[in-house]
Amino acid sequence: MEVIAVPGLPEIRPGDDLAALVADRIDLRPDDVVVVASTVVSKAAGRTASLSDFEPGERAREIADRITALTGEAKDPRFAQAVIEESEALVLDAPFLLAKTRFGHVTVNAGIDRSNVPEADLLLLPEDPGASAQALHEALDVPVIVSDTSGRPFRHGQRGVAVGWAGMPASRDWRGEADRDGRELGVTVQAVVDELAAASNLVAGEGGGGTPVTVIRDWSFGDHAGSDELFRDREADLVRQALEDWTYEDDS
């Protein structure tokens, strides 16, 4: 498998036709997968915002005060308000905001970015990354994944994850297939869209590289059942339930 950065993409502006910009710069093959950083999907959709757009409510002010007291770093209540407005629920509110977006992805600050955003304070995640992926898939005629750099519990560092996808299942379902000893696999559902998003992110980079779109070439889903379940429901997520019940106390 190869991961190829699409060269020469410009700074993306509201209203830009991302599919056309990509198609003009690379000859896609029928079995390619295109991975697009959510940053440029958001820019094309005009999902920038100013802190002054957000009028902090009581909850945002209370959370910002608590984060400031816990961390010793001033938290802007307008930023807390932006995260609340971009979220369906807060999994944690202090010492940092861990939010569930309306489309199901749980991430710090609801994925609101402050880097690679000229001329604005904030860049919000696409409103519906699955719908964005679908539109790009229809225009490009290959599977499309919309990715974001995201942290993860239990480990330092961030990596790429899929926030939307179209034209392929989210996961390979290995259940019912055999291991090398013929033992039937009972639980393995491989989140291939996350694995491809991580591979893409490795090539796209994080800083000023200017390569928000990659093409995954010579990879194949193979002969497996597919699943589109990626985001866990609260009811099935014991870790999330435990976090929501947890209160941070600074005992340093």
Which is nearer to ligand GDP, 37 or 82 (by Cβ)?
37
Phi, psi angles (nearest 5°) of residue 77: -60, -25
Q: Does 148 interact with Mn ion (rule: CB under 5 A)?
A: yes
Would you count residue 148 as binding ligand GDP (CB under 6 A)? yes
Those residues whose C-beta lies under 8 Å from the C-beta of residue 114, and which sit 6 or more positions away, are 121, 122, 123
Q: Does 208 bind ligand GDP (CB under 6 A)?
A: yes
Nearest partner of 54 among 109, 129, 11, judged by Cα: 109
Q: Measure CA 35 to chain center.
A: 12
| Shortest-Cβ-distance residue relative to Mn ion | 149
DSSP class of residue 24 equals T
The answer to whether 144 contacts ligand GDP (rule: CB under 6 A) is: no
Q: Cα separation of 126 and 101, whole Å?
A: 10
For residue 86, the partner it binds in ligand GDP, Mn ion, none, with Cβ less than 5 to 8 A by kind, is: none
| Choice from 206, 225, 226, 231 touching Mn ion (CB under 5 A) | 206
Is residue 113 close enough to count as binding Mn ion by CB under 5 A? yes
| Minimum separation from the CB atom of position 116 to ligand GDP (A) | 4
x/- letters, 99..128, toward ligand GDP (CB under 6 A)? --------------x-xx------------
Task: Round to whole Å and give the CA distance between 190 and 192.
Answer: 6
Instruction: Name the 3-class secondary structure at 216.
Output: strand
Instruction: Please tell me whether residue 194 binds ligand GDP under the rule CB under 6 A.
Output: no
Per-residue x/- mask for Mn ion, residues 74 to 93, rule CB under 5 A? --------------------
Give the end-to-end CA distance of the chain in Å, rounded to a whole number: 48
Tokens of 19: 């599919």
For Mn ion, the binding residue among 149, 171, 200, 214 (CB under 5 A) is 149
Least separation, in Å, of the C-beta of 39 and Mn ion?
Answer: 5
Query: Smaller CB distance to Mn ion: residue 81 or 200?
Result: 200
Which residue in 129, 84, 131 sits closest to 110, CA to CA? 84
